[in-house]
Structure 1
Amino acid sequence: MSSTHIAISDRAADAGELYSPAKEKANNRGVYGVRSQIFRRRVRQLIGGPRVKLLLSLCILSFFVLFSSRIGTFKSWNPHASSSASSPSRRGYTVLINTWKRNSLLTQSVAHYASCSGTDAIHVVWSESDPPSNSLKAFLKKIVLKKSHTSRKPNFKFDLNEEDNLNNRFKPIENLRTDAIFSVDDDVIVPCHTLDFAFTVWQSAPLTMVGFVPRMHWLDQEKNGIVYYKYGGWWSVWWMGTYSMILSKASFFHKNYLELYTHKMPSSIHDYITTERNCEDIAMSLLVANATDAPPIWVKGKIYEIGSSGISHLKGHSNRRNKCLNDFVSLYGTMPLVPTNIKAVDAGHEWFW
């Protein structure tokens, strides 16, 4: 490339436009500058005219009408129409129900999730010393067949564990046909349309946790070089508008995290959960955040709790959660949780955008 061409290109770049020798000569004579001033004056006079103002107003009005119609089209979008919940290539999701000595709640939960079109399989995590009775097995299998509205009926299975241990809920499952796991407690009911919408959200970010129960953390204090964090429940999330965890009592995550939780997470965390009988959901949130360096996604949707005897209602629960969070962070050696204020909303079921 010649030095002359480089010089021309540099001058054109400095001017912010294509270089023109004729234009430069005109500018040097003052002719081009005068014509430019006259042209700008005529443009201002033209734009300032009443007819042009009316035309511009009509154009702006037409734009807003078109924009509003597009919003109306988007708000009426039905996630079932494009959801891969019914696509053979994605096969929907596996519902993983954690239960313990609440057969009546388990029955309601299995019946409900069997009726959701995206449910490909239902696995019940059973952690009682006595296995489920044959009558319970037969009854629940019959319910699954009866409640399912799809031609391909969901698989149903009990995952048996002799030991009562909260780590059981995240054991790997063989022969899964889906990548998506919907982890849920036996006393939590998520309406099918809300569940399927959350599944479409998860498909857009399949490596993170997507769910309905957000929690948060914040810096509490620093003493002697040690940082302490505070665990915040729902009212903290509501007040601050921020969250950094999605609890596994109602959340989607990739099946690979079952393998990571069981075989890759520090055994000291497993032992901690076994001893404290708490905080396996915090451990899963930390695991996913540590693997992705990304926040979870909270899906806005009404869910129903049909029981009230869980460990979250026990006295001193908040203090134990604070201790779990800080002990886990100490074992990790870092705070992997990423705060966010993003919320996924199904516009088809909202009055306001």
Structure 2
Amino acid sequence: MVYISLLTKYCFLILFIVCCIELVLLSINFFWNNKELFFYPTPDNDINKYYSTKNNVNQFSNVKCNKFLFKLNFLPKDKPLLLNLYNEIKNLKERLFIENKKYCIKVDFKHNNTITRKNNVYVESNNILFYNLKLNEIKIIGNNTIIKKIFIIDPDYFTSNNSDIIKTKSYLANNKIIKKYKNYCKVLNPVDLDKLLITLLLSKCIPVINAKWSTDLLLIDKEFKWSKALIIQDEIDFSNSEYFYTYPLSQYDVEEKIKYGQKLLSWNFKILSPIASNILTFLEKRYTGNVFNKLIKADNLYNEDEELFDIERSKPLVNDKFTIMMTTYKRIQGLNYSLAQFNNNTDVDKIIVIWNDPDLSYLPKKHFWSKSVAPAFFVKPNANSLNNKFLPYDIIKTEAILILDDDQRLSEELLKYLFNVWKFNRDVIVGYNRRLTGNGPGNAYFTSGLKKFDLILTSLSFLNKKYLYYYTYNFPTKFKEKIDFLTNCEDISMNYLVAMYSNKPNIAYTIGGDLSRCYNCTSHGLSSKSNHYKIRSDCVLELNKIFGFNPMIPNSFYLKEFIN
């Protein structure tokens, strides 16, 4: 009996081992046959996760690049929107990525037989109808598989009470695809979640979704967060039908989510420049595993400064100091006076002077300029442009940037106070000269008799270095071209950009007199033109049209009255 019992135990043990081996072999076989895994960055944060792709669009690519170098092929002349997107990507390619024959991938805008290769990406555009809503769907295809989808929204959908949006939302509710209560719309069926979210955000109804669906959210700019526009609930809360009717959001929070949703849609699904940037960021992450901020090389104006610039590029980042950036054009005496103001200011890391005058025949010798504790770096840009004011130069080593006109009369106390205020408000513009924008019709730019403000002139203003990147690479390209044509409105554009990203009001820290001077300058400021304010009002109205609304947030509070 003892032998039989032992034999039985051994049989069960052998059977167990055989089953384990079989299970391991089955697992190996499964993963071998389903080995398309892709190291995919979730769009709402920087955490990378692995996703199995047996029934998923994310596909593993064996192509890996040390640097993201790509070749752009096939001009899509038959599709205007795709052509515009192509031009935006081409513009970014020329500015961000060095030309090299040894490219990592090819990005094709026309279907051809080469897209099956592992180093080819194909961009396709189709008009689709989501019930009553018309959308343009952009597909990024690799290895004959959709690896990412993006939607572009018709600008007309940003107008209030659009009939297509109203009809679509009513259909969704009547067919129990969503459940509506007050300002909330709970998604009951996650099929077509991407298009559902666009529809609900356009209708200004806050989508409520299950947290497990969050991996299917569409690609957006890394500075935007889906969680600020949606209500994302865990399984327990989402399954509790009563919790939907008692969700604890104040009316203020509801309004903030709705406003944020409009900004998220406009920036990521309407304006082509940031959409193109999002696509390249996604591809760079996919093929290199990382994304680096792209710097602009600062070319030295004086030949003797070449070594000075090279040394500065290699220096580490600096905390608790700020960089002054000044753009100048034919105002030598005024600039020299401005440089003298910073002689004893130890908070200044460096002064970057952007020499916008292409005529160098009147350029003084280097020793002519006033000396200061912080070194001055004279930069020669590629062209005379107001957009040079916001270039992310590779010699900038501080997070804090003081954008300054060369005619501002300052003091050390004024700058120190300004800097301290900015330290606690790093994602907005902190400055001195304030204005108010509107929606029209008629005048949309106000300069006097203001009880509130929303815009800070960049003649004297602090902002975060990150906005230099976003302005240079993400802000609408065509409007920046218009800035060069008008020689105006670059500061309004920066304010709109900051408002989109921060979703906060700017700060005017004082009410005081005009700090500008330089009465004997040979070249006067741009604001002296007779049509200056008319041009700026028109810029506000055009930017409102580009964004679909005015993103500026009014403020009626001033931190302190500064007395010279």
Matched, 1:155 2:379: no
Conserved 8 A contact 1:190-1:302 = no
Structure with larger Rg? 1
> Could you tell me how far apart the structure 2 residues matched to 1:303 and 1:131 are?
31
Where in structure 2 are the equivalents of 1:85-100 lying within 5 Å?
A: 90-100=319-329
Q: 2:350 aligns with which of 121, 124, 134?
A: 121
The one-character-per-residue Cα deviations of 1:14-46 (angstroms, maximum 9, x if unpaired) are xxxxxxxxxxxxxxxxxxxxxxxxxxxxxxxxx
Residues 330 and 132 from structure 1, CA distance in 2 versus in 1: closer, same or farther, beyond 3 angstroms? farther
> Could you tell me how far apart the structure 2 residues matched to 1:132 and 1:284 are?
32
Letter of the 1:236 partner, please give it: G
Letter of the 1:248 partner, please give it: T
> Could you tell me how far apart the structure 2 residues matched to 1:287 and 1:130 are?
32
Q: 2:449 aligns with which of 231, 236, 242?
A: 236
Shift of 1:135: 4.4
Conserved 8 A contact 1:329-1:335 = yes
Letter of the 2:346 partner, please give it: S
Conserved 8 A contact 2:439-2:541 = no
Structure 2: gaps spanning 5 or more residues: 1-316
| Aligned match of 1:51 | none
Matched, 1:345 2:560: yes
Shift of 1:182: 0.5
| Aligned match of 2:385 | 165
Shift of 1:131: 4.0
Residues 279 and 288 from structure 1, CA distance in 2 versus in 1: closer, same or farther, beyond 3 angstroms? same
Shift of 1:114: 3.3
Q: 2:507 aligns with which of 285, 288, 297?
A: 297
Where in structure 2 are the equivalents of 1:90-239 lying within 5 Å?
A: 90-131=319-360, 135-140=364-369, 143-144=370-371, 148=372, 153-221=373-441, 230-233=444-447, 235-237=448-450
Partner-residue secondary structure (3-state), 2:395: coil
> Could you tell me how far apart the structure 2 residues matched to 1:214 and 1:134 are?
33
> Could you tell me how far apart the structure 1 residues matched to 2:514 and 2:440 are?
31
Residues 311 and 180 from structure 1, CA distance in 2 versus in 1: closer, same or farther, beyond 3 angstroms? same
The one-character-per-residue Cα deviations of 1:110-147 (angstroms, maximum 9, x if unpaired) are 1112332321110001111134877432222xx32xxx
| Aligned match of 1:245 | 455
Aligned CA RMSD, in angstroms, stands at 2.2
Higher RCO (C-alpha 8 Å, min separation 6): 1
Count, aligned residues:
243
Conserved 8 A contact 2:408-2:459 = yes
| Aligned match of 1:79 | none
Letter of the 1:230 partner, please give it: A
Work out the percentage of aligned pairs sharing the same amino acid: 27
Conserved 8 A contact 1:98-1:125 = yes
Residues 134 and 271 from structure 1, CA distance in 2 versus in 1: closer, same or farther, beyond 3 angstroms? closer
Letter of the 1:95 partner, please give it: I
Partner-residue secondary structure (3-state), 1:306: coil
> Could you tell me how far apart the structure 2 residues matched to 1:135 and 1:99 are?
13
Residues 182 and 334 from structure 1, CA distance in 2 versus in 1: closer, same or farther, beyond 3 angstroms? same
Partner-residue secondary structure (3-state), 1:305: coil
> Could you tell me how far apart the structure 1 residues matched to 2:323 and 2:533 are?
31
Q: 1:307 aligns with which of 506, 518, 533?
A: 518
Conserved 8 A contact 2:427-2:502 = yes
Shift of 1:192: 1.3
TM-score after normalising by structure 2: 0.41
| Aligned match of 2:145 | none
More helix by share: 1
Partner-residue secondary structure (3-state), 1:284: helix
Partner-residue secondary structure (3-state), 1:344: coil
Conserved 8 A contact 1:181-1:254 = yes
> Could you tell me how far apart the structure 2 residues matched to 1:344 and 1:136 are?
42
> Could you tell me how far apart the structure 1 residues matched to 2:558 and 2:526 are?
27
Letter of the 1:206 partner, please give it: R
* Higher alpha-carbon deviation: 308-317 or 100-109: 308-317
Shift of 1:332: 1.9
> Could you tell me how far apart the structure 1 residues matched to 2:360 and 2:503 are?
40
